Amino acid sequence: MPIRILSPDVASKIAAGEVVERPASVVKELVENSLDAGATQVAIEVQGGGVRLIRVVDNGIGIPPEEVDLAFERFATSKVATADDLEGISSLGFRGEALPSIAAVSEVTMVTRSKDELSGIFVNIKDGAILEKAKRGCPVGTTVTVRNLFRNVPARLKFLKSTATENGHISNLVAQYSLAFPEVRFTLLIDGRTAFRSTGSGNLREVLGSVYGLDVAKAMLMIEAKENADPMLPGVTGFVSPITLTRASRSYMSFFVNRRWVQNRMLTYALEEAYQGLLMVGRHPIAVINISLHPKELDVNVHPTKNEVRFRNERDIFSAIQKAVRNTLTVQAPMPTLDTLSGPPQPVTASQAERLPAFANSPEEAVTRTPIATPPQSTEPVAKSLPILRVVGQLANTYIIAEGPDGMYLIDQHAAHERVLFEKIRNERSRRAVEVQGLLQPVTVELTVSQQELLELQSEALSEYGFGIEHFGERTYLVRSVPAVLRGQNVAQSLVEVLDFLAEGEKGDRREEIAISLACHGAVRAGQALSHEEMRDLIRQLEQASQPRTCPHGRPTMIHLSSSQLEKGFGRR
């Protein structure tokens, strides 16, 4: 075949194919025109998956009578005039292609009335030509009706999916525009049934409720808006899901650039980067991200469908999104940090010790306290506090040898440390000043049914001690923080062991036992070599404990050989 110029009919169908891929593309173009016309109400109606009928009714500015014909001409637009205008597009449409493209592959009627006119104009267009044009009474605004889409393009018709699939694309599209334009009231009628509606109140969280349901809408975190931001820098607003609210698919992330719905991998990547390490593999956030940019920073003229954009400075956008989202996640759902309130232990005088809370000082407390914390009855009454001890050395990497004013002390390093930690933890909890260790990477823990039951039962107590635990589905939990005493320990194992420790005994209040179990896990082990310094520290802390002579389980922390016992033993007396 020799080269020749295509007939207008063939050329327009080829061009239309780029714009109108499926029924949802028609809905998109018509809705964009309504929004560009400043409509506050957009009603969409479809029948037969959009193939039989698509109608979009708006209350926008309408088209003046003398311009109606032009609207259906290729490259006829009211939105740009010069090539320079392409540099700073702020409307959704600008190519002047939609109406002629739609008209090339369907039968279109339009009724429109601009606000200065007393009546409207009706036009009927078939195969791109105006068949009928007449005055008609109608409210200000525009109604476009598209019938028999693709009937003259059988190849395209064949490739359409089921009615349900096409309806799904249309619903999604309307939902996306409602998210981008919360101040516009959208309704979508599918085969006579209301499939979607938004109120047009301007409240994005409310639209989220219409799109994703109330529970999601309530849980979503509003992105903190930055004040006095540089207008040349990208602004990021919208909503993101907390890390506890995720989806298995990426289709719950919506991005709008200057209110244009765009699909862009960099944007998705930036968002997911902000959740890095916070979500389980294969889970994705829900998000509505509005990016506002100076129009000059953006090229929207990339593809006839206009849902691709190019950014002049991708890196700025990337970091703006990542920062805004990360900031929202940390500010509104704070990750536990080290509690600086509890500093290093200070020497405590006897009178101060009496004023320390929660050491079984009040009678009620003494009654409700489990017997574990009090010394076993069998031991002879012991002096409450310890004298000042001088560390001599370590025995078998297990015992500390110390000297006091009245003889020698052999101290079990694990039992002693347990006592110290137990009192510290218990004291901190009662002061609500528990030292918490946030985990950079949350740890997932699989629990058994009974462990899970215990966890749910004791969740409040566990959180008072600094455990940040979230249910992750089934029997999986996510540990985000632990009591600081467990620093450096295997988190999953420690939690399971605390639960197993709680499994023995009755249900009730188990705070004491939790403290015991934590102390046990955090304490130095027998067999661990300690420096002289470490031993001295431990003994200093033990001296300040309220009940230094027993571990929280009730076993002795030390054996005392008094000076007189020594003398007796060696036959000195």
From Mg ion, ligand ADP, none, interface partner of 60 (C-beta below 5 to 8 A by class): ligand ADP
From Mg ion, ligand ADP, none, interface partner of 37 (C-beta below 5 to 8 A by class): ligand ADP
Give me the residue whose beta carbon is nearest to Mg ion: 93
Give me the least distance between CB of 253 and ligand ADP, in Å please: 27
Give me the least distance between CB of 140 and ligand ADP, in Å please: 10
Q: How far is CA 190 from CA 164, 186, 197, in A?
A: 10, 13, 12
Give me the least distance between CB of 55 and ligand ADP, in Å please: 12
**In the complex with Mg ion, which residue's Cβ is closer, 49 or 93?**
93
**In the complex with ligand ADP, which residue's Cβ is closer, 60 or 238?**
60
Q: What region, left, alpha or beta, does residue 283 occupy, with left being phi > 0 and alpha being psi -120 to 50 degrees?
A: beta
**In the complex with ligand ADP, which residue's Cβ is closer, 60 or 466?**
60
| Cβ atoms of residues 15 and 129 within 8 Å | no
Query: Could you list the residues that contact ligand ADP (CB under 6 A)?
Result: 29, 33-34, 37, 58, 60-63, 71, 76-79, 93-99, 142
From ligand ADP, Mg ion, none, interface partner of 62 (C-beta below 5 to 8 A by class): ligand ADP
**In the complex with Mg ion, which residue's Cβ is closer, 93 or 100?**
93
Compute, in degrees rounded to 10, the torsion defined by CA atoms 318, 324, 329, 335: 90
Give me the least distance between CB of 175 and ligand ADP, in Å please: 20
From Mg ion, ligand ADP, none, interface partner of 96 (C-beta below 5 to 8 A by class): ligand ADP
CA 233 centroid distance within chain: 24
Give me the least distance between CB of 16 and Mg ion, in Å please: 13
Per-residue b or e along 200-233, where b marks 16 or more CB atoms closer than 10 Å to that residue's CB: beeebebbbbbbbeeebbeebbebeeeeeeeeeb
| Cβ atoms of residues 15 and 97 within 8 Å | yes
> Distance between CA 350 and CA 357 in Å, rounded?
14
Of 340, 343, 344, 336, the C-alpha closest to 466 is 336
Degrees (nearest 5) of the Cα angle 539, 542, 547? 150
**In the complex with ligand ADP, which residue's Cβ is closer, 51 or 300?**
300
**In the complex with Mg ion, which residue's Cβ is closer, 93 or 200?**
93
From ligand ADP, Mg ion, none, interface partner of 63 (C-beta below 5 to 8 A by class): ligand ADP
Give me the least distance between CB of 194 and ligand ADP, in Å please: 22
| Cβ atoms of residues 182 and 207 within 8 Å | yes
> Distance between CA 61 and CA 526 in Å, rounded?
83
Give me the residue whose beta carbon is nearest to ligand ADP: 93
Residues forming beta bridges with residue 318, ordered by sequence position: none
**In the complex with Mg ion, which residue's Cβ is closer, 93 or 552?**
93
Q: Is the dihedral of CA 461, 466, 471, 475 positive or negative?
A: negative
Query: Could you list the residues that contact Mg ion (CB under 5 A)?
Result: 33, 93, 98
Give me the least distance between CB of 98 and Mg ion, in Å please: 4
Give me the least distance between CB of 58 and ligand ADP, in Å please: 5
**In the complex with ligand ADP, which residue's Cβ is closer, 143 or 413?**
143
- How does DSSP assign 498-548, residue by residue? HHHHHHSS-SS--HHHHHHHHHHHHSPPTT----HHHHHHHHHHHHHSSST
